Amino acid sequence: MAVESPETIVREILSSAGIEVNGRNPWDIQVHDPRLYGRALREPDLAMGEGYMLGWWDCEAIDQLIARIVLARLDEKVKGNWRVWLHVLKSRLFNLQDPTRATEVIERHYDLGNDLFCATLDRRLTYSCGYWKDAATLDEAQEAKLEMVCRKLGVVPGMQILDVGCGWGAFAKYAAERHGARVVGVTISKEQLALATELCKGLTVDLRLQDYREVEGTYDAVVSMGFMCHVGCKNYPAYFDVTSRCLKRDGVALLHTCAVNESVTATDPFTHAYLFPNGMLPSIAQLGRAMEGRFVAEDWHNIGPHYDPTLLAWCANFDRAWPELKGKYDERFRRLWRYYLLGSAGGFRSRSKQVWQIVMTRHGRPQPDCRVG
């Protein structure tokens, strides 16, 4: 009995998702190096991303390709190898997001260069999902999201707010400018802090280089946007303990986070290796267990479909800025960044990933009016 070649097997698997090798559809994969086939069967979690970075394949619409792959659950047709299981085992045995490891993602992602993020993101440097309900541009979508968060928190002049994982200060600046809030923001990225401090100059904003576990004081509101994917499931109880400790008895907390439909303890090997070391997206079960006994969940709002157009807008910005960026970043990085942005768009379009905004209060507080958007 003849043994099928890796190319034949890969072609059959892709065909089940309506994807043709060297086909004419925008989602079809164009293979330039046949080594991709064997690697895809041996290391499916790394082969696609690394193969694209190396120029082994191309695709006119990576977002459409990834969405089809995810919707057809092609991952179930290719078994993972020992490297994948080793990474998962490490995440279960060790705390990959403890204070000694927390800075790794900062050094390898967020401190890549403020020029990169200024070119990719909106004018406020908001590195999280926008809200496109009534928006026509990325700037409008991000301001709509920031305003929605302020409304859910009930922000009023003089309100004291803690922003955990404040990034480049987008929320802090918006809440201070538009609503007169007094915001303390914490980050462990020196690059983010330097630019955010400049952007928030003259406002009632205090930005600090500080691990979230070390924050003290009490606030009328605690907000965190795009930070939870770096916390890790072993630290969810500690995160909610900090939020509870810092939130006044009658305060309101809001968690804005990407999420997955099924519980995991680690991200995929490609994301871990090249994009977000030691990261992981939470599930509803994991967050629920950590919140239990600590908070009342007042509202659980899914805006996941809005991340698809956000990521596409980021990629369009990046492509336009590439002529100015390529003096610092090489072609391998360009392909990595496009694969990350477009592949993520496909993931959210396929509904395998979500974006939740969770409004929480302490036990006994009257219910806030947080059903907006």
> Looking at residue 110, what is its pLDDT?
60
- The architecture that CATH gives domain 99-361 is 3-Layer(aba) Sandwich (3.40)
Ranges of residues in the chain whose predicted pLDDT is under 70: 1-3, 78-111, 373
**293-348 tens-digit pLDDT:** 999 999 999 999 999 999 999 999 999 999 999 999 999 999 999 999 999 999 99
> Looking at residue 78, what is its pLDDT?
65
> Looking at residue 105, what is its pLDDT?
45
Could you tell me the residue ranges of all domains in the chain?
6-80, 99-361
Q: Which of 226, 276, 219 is nearest to 96 (CA)?
A: 276
> Looking at residue 93, what is its pLDDT?
47
Q: Token pair for residue 198? A: 């400049």
**61-101 tens-digit pLDDT:** 999 999 999 999 987 776 543 343 333 334 344 444 455 44
pTM recorded for the entire structure: 0.91
The three-state (H, E, C) secondary structure of the chain, written as one string: CCCCCHHHHHHHHHHCCCCCECCCCCCCEEECCCHHHHHHHHCHHHHHHHHHHCCCEECCCHHHHHHHHHHCCHHHHCCCCHHHHHHHHHHHHCCCCCCCCCHHHHHHHHCCCHHHHHHHCCCCCCCCCCCCCCCCCHHHHHHHHHHHHHHHHCCCCCCEEEEECCCCCHHHHHHHHHHCCEEEEEECCHHHHHHHHHHCCCCCEEEEECCHHHCCCCEEEEEEECCHHHCCHHHHHHHHHHHHHHEEEEEEEEEEEEEECCCCCCCCHHHHHHCCCCCCCCCHHHHHHHHCCCCEEEEEEECHHHHHHHHHHHHHHHHHHHHHHCCCCCHHHHHHHHHHHHHHHHHHHCCCEEEEEEEEECCCCCCCCCCCC
